[in-house]
């Protein structure tokens, strides 16, 4: 009966072929077979993995608490990380119990640019690339001009980290915002998000790239620099691990920078090596932050440029590079 | 008459310009000028001095003899040149030690031996230089003071006791000793309170600030040392760890939920909003598809 129907209404049948119950069931069956095949493939893969693990020979090991256990040899992995792997995990974890903080005393800066040079040497930067730059500032026509060193503010609410799509730039528990240039895809969202213009991009082959080829990447130093990735101030995370002050802080001849741990309430001047209380220093000298209204909560504080002992013009002569 | 007047004017002028110049120059006290190095400059010392120089001095003064000093005002100058070399060793030592803006003070940065090593290195550029004989060190006759530190619980104070070893090897309390107390911080030591002088019992008491952070259990590492800038005494500092700081165990800055954090630490409202929107969008899609299927079913039945 049904066959007759189809021959009689062949034209209509072609149009409505897709919607007959038989076809629907056929499609459902095909989909079901597809799913079953996929699941079977996954399952056999799983079985294979499990078999592989089980066939390894077992080894007898001594645990930390003195027990002898037998472990499949395939499951033995080195507990101690070395080289780049170690540096990467250290770089993500930071130094426990610390909250690094920097204080820049504007009244002392006379644009000697030693901080900039030390920084560029350490991070393999070209002379026109700045992690730390000294800006010449004048707030109003009749106020005293001053030099303002500006680096990454290592915000506690970092807009750059929020926009990074690949977790290449990240904040550490000790407050430092770092970059892992192996992950960086060069989208430059972070550059656009940073209100302090602290980030630079390697548009061209980094300085002496050929001679640094094959060098292990150090996330706490961000060297070797990589073409098409971001770089910025890292608070010299590698030096902090050794208990040393950052490159710029150490290099300053004029006592501009203080660096220390907020948890200890102490900062140390890079030039005089004098350690003072952070809270007292900020309170007594009118410490402030850059653009606090943005809610970025910077970890760099500034002391106002009062009692400047030298004129601005003199500082201009001290500038060795013209950019 | 005319001649005398001229001489007088010339004298006056020289006096005036002389004082003007001396007001700007960096005067080293005569007793410091006469200081000589306590050791003989050796080639090893020059090598060591070169290392110290490259690290601390080269950035401004450049390499000796190369005239490549930094363009600063006043000019740092090349230290191999006659202007620098005609100074006595004591003069150079004094300048390195005390500094004068913009030259940094290296008193606490370069140890004394290394400062002499730098001078040895600089003198190696001066073939005419003959080192003055080091003065024989006189036998040590100064006081020998040992400090001890205790925390007095009832008084809530740090008590530092100074003992002096006399020539007959007996120990007596040392009075009039200036004592500095400092607490260890990550990059250096932070002085606690003012300098105190020991009393007749050899004791100096320090109040510890109530708001100074310690580690997570409140422990602080304290060091008491004798203030002896001219090294006239043989002193032994005292160290100790006391649980008198404010216990500080603040969480890491990535531990709180934040907008910028990775998925695991995203704010609850963000997770909820996202999950809800995904559910709603998929819900609508599923609803539409099922409605279409229903309509089709109805049409085939019809």
DSSP B114: H
Dump pLDDT digits (tens) for A197-240: 999 999 999 998 889 888 889 999 998 999 999 999 999 999 99
Partners of A136 in the beta sheet?
A147
Contacts with B254 from chain A: Cβ below 8 Å? 171-173
Strands B203-207 and B171-173, bridge-based pairing: unpaired
Region B217-229: mean pLDDT is 92
User: Where among B137, B165, B192 does a domain terminate?
Assistant: B137
Taking an 8 Å cut-off on Cβ atoms, the answer to whether A172 and B254 are in contact is yes
Domain for residue B113, yes or no?
Answer: yes
Question: Is there a single domain that holds both residue B129 and residue B165?
Answer: no
Domain for residue B160, yes or no?
Answer: yes
Question: Is there a single domain that holds both residue B95 and residue B61?
Answer: yes
CATH of the domain at B69: 1.10.760.10
Question: Is there a single domain that holds both residue B129 and residue B44?
Answer: yes
Greater confidence (A131 vs B38) lies with A131
B95's CB contacts (< 8 A; 6+ apart) are B26, B28, B87, B103
Question: Is there a single domain that holds both residue B129 and residue B215?
Answer: no
| pLDDT of the residue at B301 | 65
A91 close to A237: Cβ distance less than 8 angstroms: yes
Contacts with B299 from chain A: Cβ below 8 Å? 19
Is the CB of B270 inside 8 Å of chain A's CB atoms?
Answer: no
Please report which confidence band the pLDDT of residue A288 belongs to, taking 50, 70 and 90 as the band edges: very high
**Number of folded domains that form chain B:** 2
Q: What size, in residues, is chain B?
A: 302
Rounded to two decimals, the pTM is 0.67
Query: Is residue B299's pLDDT more than 70?
Result: yes
Helix and strand element counts for chain B (H, E)? 8, 10
How many CB atoms sit inside 10 A of residue A53's CB? 11
Residue of A nearest to B106 (CA): A272
Domain for residue B121, yes or no?
Answer: yes
Region B96-101: mean pLDDT is 85
- Which of B184, B190, B213, B209 has its CA nearest to residue A275? B190
CA dist list (Å): A238 to A176, A243, A246, B82? 11, 9, 9, 41
Region B28-49: mean pLDDT is 85
Question: Is there a single domain that holds both residue B117 and residue B173?
Answer: no
Region A289-293: mean pLDDT is 96
CA dist list (Å): A233 to A221, A288, B253? 9, 20, 18
Region B197-214: mean pLDDT is 92
Question: Six-digit token pair at A292?
Answer: 């606090």
Contacts with B295 from chain A: Cβ below 8 Å? none
Question: Six-digit token pair at A73?
Answer: 């040899």
ipTM of the complex: 0.71
Domain for residue B75, yes or no?
Answer: yes
Q: Provide the residue range defining the domain that includes B192.
A: 144-242
Question: Is there a single domain that holds both residue B101 and residue B149?
Answer: no
Please report which confidence band the pLDDT of residue A189 belongs to, taking 50, 70 and 90 as the band edges: very high
Question: Is there a single domain that holds both residue B99 and residue B192?
Answer: no
A105 close to A270: Cβ distance less than 8 angstroms: no
Region A47-70: mean pLDDT is 73
Question: Is there a single domain that holds both residue B204 and residue B184?
Answer: yes
Residue of B nearest to A17 (CA): B300
Sign of CA dihedral A257, A261, A267, A272: negative
Q: How far apart, in whole angstroms, are the C-alpha atoms of residue A154 and residue A178?
A: 9
Sign of CA dihedral A201, A207, A209, A212: negative
Q: Nearest by CB to A162, from B60, B254, B259: name it.
A: B259
- Secondary structure of B179-232 in HEC code, one letter for each residue: EEEEEEECCEEEECCCCEECCCCCEEEEECCCCCECCCCCCEEEEEEECCCCCC
């Amino acid at each position: 009966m049904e066959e007759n129907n189809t021959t009689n209404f062949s034209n209509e049948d072609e149009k409505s072929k897709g919607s007959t119950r038989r076809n629907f069931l056929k499609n459902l069956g095909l989909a079901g077979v597809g799913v079953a095949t996929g699941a079977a493939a996954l399952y056999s893969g799983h079985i294979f993995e499990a078999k592989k693990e089980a066939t390894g020979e077992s080894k007898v090991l001594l645990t930390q608490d003195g027990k002898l256990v037998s472990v499949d040899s395939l499951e033995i992995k080195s507990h101690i990380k070395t080289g780049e792997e170690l540096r990467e995990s250290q770089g993500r974890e930071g130094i426990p119990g610390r909250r690094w903080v920097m204080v820049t005393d504007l009244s002392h800066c006379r644009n000697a640019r030693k901080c900039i040079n030390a920084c560029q040497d350490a991070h393999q930067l070209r002379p026109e690339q700045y992690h730390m730059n000294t800006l010449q500032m004048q707030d109003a026509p009749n106020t005293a001009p001053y030099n303002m060193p500006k680096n990454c503010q290592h915000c506690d609410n970092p807009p750059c980290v929020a926009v990074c799509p690949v977790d290449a730039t990240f904040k550490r528990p000790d407050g430092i915002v770092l970059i892992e240039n192996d992950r960086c895809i060069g989208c430059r969202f972070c550059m656009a998000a940073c209100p302090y213009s602290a980030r630079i991009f390697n548009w061209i082959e980094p300085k002496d790239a050929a001679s640094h080829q094959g060098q292990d990447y150090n996330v706490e130093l961000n060297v070797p620099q990589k073409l098409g990735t971001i770089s910025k101030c890292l608070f010299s995370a590698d030096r902090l691990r050794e208990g040393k002050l950052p490159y710029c802080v150490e290099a300053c001849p004029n006592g501009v920078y203080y660096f220390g741990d907020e948890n200890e309430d102490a900062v140390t001047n890079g030039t005089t090596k004098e350690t003072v209380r952070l809270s007292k220093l900020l309170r007594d000298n009118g410490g402030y932050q850059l653009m606090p209204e943005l809610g970025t909560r910077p970890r760099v504080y500034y002391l106002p440029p009062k009692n400047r002992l030298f004129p601005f013009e003199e500082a201009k002569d001290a500038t060795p590079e013209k950019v | 008459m005319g001649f005398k007047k001229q001489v007088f004017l010339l004298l006056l002028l020289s006096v005036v310009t002389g004082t003007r110049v001396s007001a700007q120059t960096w005067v080293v006290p005569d007793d410091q000028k006469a200081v000589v190095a306590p050791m003989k400059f050796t080639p090893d010392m020059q090598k060591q001095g070169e290392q110290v120089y490259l690290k601390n001095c080269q950035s401004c003064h450049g390499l000796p003899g190369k005239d490549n000093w930094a363009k600063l005002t006043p000019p740092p100058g090349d230290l191999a040149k006659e202007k620098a070399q005609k100074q006595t060793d004591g003069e150079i030592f004094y300048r390195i030690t005390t500094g004068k803006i913009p030259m940094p003070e290296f008193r606490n940065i370069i140890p004394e031996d290394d400062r002499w090593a730098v001078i040895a290195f600089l003198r190696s550029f001066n073939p005419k230089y003959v080192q003055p004989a080091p003065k024989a060190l006189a036998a040590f006759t100064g006081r020998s003071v040992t400090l001890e530190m205790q925390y007095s619980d009832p008084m809530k104070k740090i008590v530092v006791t100074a003992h002096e070893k006399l020539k007959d090897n007996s120990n007596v309390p040392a009075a009039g000793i200036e004592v500095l107390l400092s607490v260890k911080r990550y990059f250096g030591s932070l002085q606690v309170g003012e300098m105190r002088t020991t009393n007749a019992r050899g004791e100096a008491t320090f109040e510890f600030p109530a708001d100074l952070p310690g580690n997570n259990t409140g422990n602080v590492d304290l060091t008491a040392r004798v203030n002896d800038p001219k090294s006239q005494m043989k002193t032994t500092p005292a160290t100790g760890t006391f649980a008198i700081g404010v216990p500080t165990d603040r969480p890491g800055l990535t531990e709180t939920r934040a907008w910028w954090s990775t998925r695991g630490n995203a704010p609850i409202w963000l997770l909820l909003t996202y999950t809800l929107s995904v559910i709603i969008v998929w819900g609508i899609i599923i609803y539409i598809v099922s409605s279409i299927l229903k309509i089709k079913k109805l049409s085939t039945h019809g």
